[in-house]
Amino acid sequence: MLSKNEVKYIQSLKAKKQRLEAGAFVAEGHKTVLELLEHQRWTVQALYGTDEFLQSIPQKLLLPPKTVVISQAELDRISFLQTPQSCLAVVALPATTPALFPATSWSLLLDDIQDPGNLGTIIRIADWFGIEHIFATEHTADVFNPKVVQASMGSFLRVMVHYGPCETWLNKQRPACYIADMHGSNVWQLQQPTPGVLVIGNEGNGVSENIAAFATETISIPKLGAAESLNAGVATGILLSHLLQKAN
């Protein structure tokens, strides 16, 4: 049975400030929780699940010391999902690592992507294409926001998101830099791009001038129909598909 303090603590982790203070975030969903337990690269501080879910966990997986059987009604109280699944984990925030652009592979840079759903989708797309590093400006949505974690469908476990002074990183390391812009060159016509960083800008304002100044190439997706624009996640997927195909 959940105590009032446990409920209050878990619900507080919806806010970034509280996540940072507690050094923890919430992950939900069968697939994500089972991956957390299987890979053991992230510390699960507490696991809450229905008896049916906990009984279904393979015996080879180690459960955290704090594993609590709760009813579906109790799960509904602490879940951040509209349709709660049968488990919820409180996970320690991972330690930060040096923000270094890969020298021979692709990465992403997100310039103030503010919608959590967009960020989660972009992380999932990066995982699909084997991209292990995303660099993000400080006003980009938090990767440990519950909506981002859910939208990434577990991909946040494999893709490292680095937050910080992206202009400084670009200036110091000088990777090949491909800026996504509606007025850029046709990505279909780009010839053998050098592996580097693809920059995706803010949903409303695009890439800032300070980041755009580092452009090796400014690229766009040809518009053949009447749509005004593309979702940031959709654009990221299309551009990566072409860049990686041409680079190989």
Residues 132-186 have pLDDT tens digits of 999 999 999 999 999 999 999 999 999 999 999 999 999 999 999 999 999 999 9
Of residues 74, 21, 63, the one with CA closest to residue 40: 63
Q: Read off the DSSP letter of residue 71.
A: -
Integer CA distances (angstroms), 47 to 63, 77, 92, 121, 190, in order: 8, 15, 12, 25, 48
d(CA 175, CA 194) in angstroms, rounded, equals: 9
- The one-character DSSP state at 90 is E
224 shares a domain with 132: yes
For residues 71 and 122, membership in a common domain is answered with no
Place of tokens 């200036």: 171
pLDDT at 225 over 80: yes
- 101 falls within a domain: no
146 plus 239 within the same structural domain: yes
pTM over 0.85: yes
Per the CB < 8 A criterion, the answer to whether 180 and 63 are in contact is no
Domain hosting residue 214, numbered range: 107-247
